[in-house]
Every structure is written in C-alpha cells, then in structure tokens.
Amino acid sequence: MFQSLQALPADPILGLMAAYRADTNPKKIDLGVGVYKDPAGNTPVMTAVKKAEGILLESQNTKSYVGPTGSAGYNDCVAELIFGADLVASLGKRRITAQAPGGCGGLRLAAEFIQKANPDATVWVSDPTWANHVPLLGTAGLKIQQYPYYDYTTHSVRFEEMLATLAEVPSGDVVLLHGCCHNPCGSDLSQEQWQQVRDLCLERGFTVFIDLAYQGLGDGLEEDVYGVRLMAEALPELIVVSSCSKNFGLYRERTGALSVICESDSAASIAATQIAAAARAMYSMPPDHGATIVELIMTNSTLRDEWDAELTEMRDRINGLRSQLVAQLKAAGVTQDFSFIEREKGMFSFLGISVDQIQKLVNNYSIYLVNSSRINVAGINDSNIDYLISSLADVINS
C-alpha cells in the first residue's frame, strides 16, 4: 500500500534548517527559520525559563493527565497577557481559553472549531501569509481565499485594496489577521487601520481570527496587542491563537493557546465542549512542561520582571539590527532602497530580491533565506554582518 505514496518537497521554511546544518562553510548565515538568536548566534533558554524549570523540577509531584484543554492556571495567565486583566474581567464567561500544542496546534484546533461552527466557512488569509497557515487550516477542510495585503513595490500594506476585498466577505466567513509582527512581511496595520477593519467587521458580520505569535517582539507587550484588544472589546465573536514559542523561547515545548470570545456565556460554554472534543480527537491533551513554566513565570513577580526585561532586550536587539542593516547597506554603496526594513516589525522582512539572487546567496555564499526573500533579522550579528552586507552588495550590484 505504501508504494503508492509520492515523495513531497521539503517544507519551505523547515527544509532550510537541515540545509544550513549540513553546510560546512564557516561563514554560513541562517536567516531562515523564525527563531530568535542572541549576539553570539545562539538561541539560549531564557533565564526566567531556566529558573522556572528549576522550581518545577523541585515541586512537581505528579505527571498524571491534566485534560484536553490543559491547565486552567496557564489558560488564565495567557488570557491576561493577551487581553489584559480589565478586559478579561469584563468579558467574563464569554471568553474561553484552551491550552494547545504550540501556535500551530492552536491554529489547527481553531480550524476544527470553525469547521464545526460552519463547515462552509471560507478563511480569508493575507497575501502573503505564513507558509504554514494554508496547510494547518486547509487540512481541517476549510476553504481558503486571499485578501490583498503587502505591496512589494512600496513595502507597505495595500490597505485600500484589503478593505475593498474584506467589504465583500460575507457573514459566516472568517478573516485571519496577524496580531503583530506580520509573518512574513513585517508590515503591520496602524491603529487607525485596525479600527477600520473592526468597523467593517461590525458592518459585515464576518468573524475575525487573529494569529498572535510574536507578542512583545514588535513595539512592546501592551502595544503589540492593540488590535487584539480593540477587536475583543467591540466584536460579539473573536478567535485568537497565541504562541509562547518566541516570546518565552519555548519553541520545542509546544506551548500555545486558542482563545474564543462568544456572543453569550451560554454560547461560550457550548463552544468549550466543542474545543475539548476536538483536542481529544486530535492529540488528547497538550504537553504540560512549557505551560507550567509560563504559569510559574507569570505568577511570580520576580520571574515575570526578569522575563519582561529579557524580552525587552530581544526586541531592542531586533529593532537595532533593522537600523544597522539599513545603514550598512547604504554605506556599502547599495543603491536599492532598504529603508522600509527599519519601519517593519518583528523578526521578518522581505529583502525584495529575485529568486535568482536568493539562490546565489544560498549556493555561493551559504546565506540561507526563504525563497520569498523573507529574512529573519535576528539571525544577524556583529560577527556576520560584514560578510552579509558584502555578499548582498555583490549579488544586488552584479
């Protein structure tokens, strides 16, 4: 039976990790997968996480099952981080949060939930969007369509076109927005634009679904959830999937969540049963380790301050690298305008170079980036920036 299977190409993002690891060039640079790197090029365990792990090791006295929607304590911490304490209080029982195996697990769980609520729903994703959105949502049987988002020429959001498309989205369909630090383009909606999308949603009745994978890596923990909170305050229904992979550095621990806001308390209690059943049918229950670490950090003011300070350092470093990259490209005589990189947020930006130029960077210079020209800015450091700039200058100016 298995002989009938056809081999599939490597994942466009994860495939780069393997290629980078196999490369023996000492000058190789990894700008591929979205993982934070420190100035030495490492992705260390955050200090607050290490300390929480120490506490966990000492205090944990059972490994018994938790349940399909994970730990209630973790779910409360995540809800507070995303929505803020006031909104959590005012939403009351209209809001439910379920722990999920990473952001990906949360997205897949959300897709199952949407499918149960409306099997005919189309999910509208931004053009472009994260490469894994389509497989994660599509395998649940949802139809996918795109709305215009990024203008590769002006390096800004095609907001009028986006709004014009969303104005045609019917009630019963779902619009997926990136909460902050848009992956892959780094161009976010302004506050006014979020407000206009909210108004349109209230008028049209489509359901807003926000993927929040980078809270704290754009402008700040509070600033990065402006859109999420605006929607949560105003809309009768909302779906938010969040991840602790990047802001807690818990990548491999698969620590995420699905939060759903319903029109009424009773609708939310029904939704909670659907989410629990969907989780049970897919993976039974999410892994506990990362979630307990997050809960320990969020409920201990010393650890929480330490984590916040580390996250601030990460964010400042990424924003500093953005400015440094733009300035050094200019100083190296690259006439193409890259100033947009400084305006964009989070780990990613498109360089806006051709596939041919990208292939040269990968094959001739061992500089790894996704074929869309997306780079992970956090992969740059003082030891590799000169080589990166001279390679880019060679490839762009040749």
Residue (17 or 334) nearer to ligand LMR, CB: 17
275 belongs to the binding site for ligand LMR (CB under 6 A): no
What single DSSP character describes residue 302? H
Could you tell me the smallest distance in angstroms from the CB atom of residue 143 to ligand LMR? 23
Residue (34 or 105) nearer to ligand LMR, CB: 34
Residue corresponding to tokens 């300070």: 309
Q: Count interface residues toward ligand LMR (CB under 6 A).
A: 6
Residue (13 or 279) nearer to ligand LMR, CB: 13
Task: Return d(Cα 392, Cα 16) in angstroms, integer.
Answer: 19
Contact assessment for residue 112 and residue 106, using Cβ atoms and an 8 Å cutoff: no
Could you tell me the smallest distance in angstroms from the CB atom of residue 327 to ligand LMR? 25
Q: Which residue is nearest to ligand LMR (CB)?
A: 34
Nearest Cα to Cα of residue 83 among 69, 104, 97, 103: 97
DSSP 320-343: HHHHHHHHHHHHTT--S--THHHH
Residue (33 or 201) nearer to ligand LMR, CB: 33
Could you tell me the smallest distance in angstroms from the CB atom of residue 34 to ligand LMR? 3
Residue (211 or 288) nearer to ligand LMR, CB: 211
Could you tell me the smallest distance in angstroms from the CB atom of residue 132 to ligand LMR? 6
- Is 194 noted as a catalytic residue in this protein? no
Binding to ligand LMR (CB under 6 A) within 120-139 occurs at 130, 132
Residues 6 or more apart whose Cβ sits within 8 Å of residue 214: 179, 180, 181, 183, 224, 246, 247, 346, 347
- Structure tokens, 277: 């059943």
- Is 246 noted as a catalytic residue in this protein? yes
Could you tell me the smallest distance in angstroms from the CB atom of residue 46 to ligand LMR? 18
Q: Of these residues, 28, 37, 51, 246, which one is catalytic? A: 246
Residue (34 or 290) nearer to ligand LMR, CB: 34
Residues 6 or more apart whose Cβ sits within 8 Å of residue 378: 35, 36, 37, 314, 317, 318, 321, 347
Binding to ligand LMR (CB under 6 A) within 132-171 occurs at 132
Binding to ligand LMR (CB under 6 A) within 207-246 occurs at none
Task: Return d(Cα 232, Cα 205) in angstroms, integer.
Answer: 14
- Helix 289-298 to helix 301-331 angle (10° resolution) is 100
Could you tell me the smallest distance in angstroms from the CB atom of residue 184 to ligand LMR? 7
Nearest Cα to Cα of residue 13 among 99, 177, 179, 131: 131
- Is 211 noted as a catalytic residue in this protein? yes
Could you tell me the smallest distance in angstroms from the CB atom of residue 19 to ligand LMR? 14
Count the neighbouring beta carbons within 10 Å of the beta carbon of residue 215.
24
Contact assessment for residue 254 and residue 286, using Cβ atoms and an 8 Å cutoff: yes
Contact assessment for residue 268 and residue 58, using Cβ atoms and an 8 Å cutoff: no
List the x/- string, 362-381, binding to ligand LMR by CB under 6 A. --------------------
Candidates 29, 33, 291, 298: give the one binding ligand LMR (CB under 6 A): 33
Backbone angles phi, psi at 97, to 5 degrees: -130, 130
Q: Of these residues, 30, 173, 211, 224, which one is catalytic? A: 211
Task: Return d(Cα 165, Cα 356) in angstroms, integer.
Answer: 32
Binding to ligand LMR (CB under 6 A) within 176-205 occurs at 183
Q: Of these residues, 37, 51, 124, 130, which one is catalytic? A: 130
Q: Which residues bind ligand LMR (CB under 6 A)?
A: 13, 33-34, 130, 132, 183
Active site residues: 130, 211, 246
